[in-house]
Homo-oligomer: A and B are copies of this chain.
């Protein structure tokens, strides 16, 4: 039998946003690969899983990854999880899946929480199609070009940003559009301090100062053809 690597999802805020299947896979995994020590350890402890684990994150070298691949090949069931949300979406787990496939490891998934989908569910915008941008470039000129590029898309856009930079990026986008854009901003989604802004971008800019530094998900409602909305007339 092929060795199997399960791609898991972890809570994005509320610790109960974890599936029965994910807990079962963690219990039966011979090898668990987490993102950061503190978060992985906290998650396993909360669910009484008393196992060691390896780490894969932005500090991992190619050698570290090749070593993990060898360990997966020696195991029957391995699992990989990110600190928050679905592994392989804007997190380091993506670096191992291609190599794993090339090495004859079967990938399986226990789907679960994703802040991207959470924000789309909440935003009220039409979600087919939508484009997920990930993070914009940290470099000012490149980011400006990227923003201009995506504003040409006539459909819903989702992006992530750091708690420290999201206000700056929202102000930049607002300065680059003439018209109002419907925007949804979610901060600390699913936690007790969850904040949700529904409105338009020029108005949001006026209150940005009052908002906390917290992990954001931002959705821009660029859909022109509102007749595609499901609402029956």
Residues on A lying within 8 angstroms of B by beta carbon are: 7, 9, 12, 14, 16-21, 24, 60-62, 65, 86-90, 92, 94-95, 97-99, 101, 107-118, 120-122, 124, 126-135, 189-190, 194, 196, 198, 229-233
What are 13 A-to-B residue pairs whose CB atoms are below 8 Å?
A18-B20, A61-B232, A86-B120, A87-B121, A94-B230, A97-B121, A98-B124, A98-B229, A99-B231, A111-B114, A111-B115, A127-B132, A128-B135
Nearest Cβ distance between residue A194 and chain B, in whole angstroms?
8
B95 engages A229 (CB within 8 Å): yes
A198 engages B101 (CB within 8 Å): yes
Nearest Cβ distance between residue A212 and chain B, in whole angstroms?
19
A121 engages B115 (CB within 8 Å): no
With A12-B111, A109-B189, A114-B114 in contact, do A120 and B88 touch (Cβ < 8 Å)? yes
Selected from B61, B128, B231, the residue in CB contact (under 8 A) with A132 is: B128
A17 engages B94 (CB within 8 Å): no
- Number of copies of this chain in the oligomer? 2
With A98-B229, A135-B128 in contact, do A86 and B20 touch (Cβ < 8 Å)? no
Name, among A16, A62, A113, A229, the residue most crowded by chain B CB atoms within 10 Å (CB to CB).
A113
The chain B residue with its CB closest to the CB of A92 is: B230
Selected from B86, B110, B116, B233, the residue in CB contact (under 8 A) with A190 is: B110
A112 engages B232 (CB within 8 Å): no
B7 engages A121 (CB within 8 Å): yes
Nearest Cβ distance between residue A128 and chain B, in whole angstroms?
3
Rounded to whole angstroms, the CA-CA distance of A233 and B60 in the bound complex is 11
The chain B residue with its CB closest to the CB of A58 is: B230
Rounded to whole angstroms, the CA-CA distance of A18 and B22 in the bound complex is 9
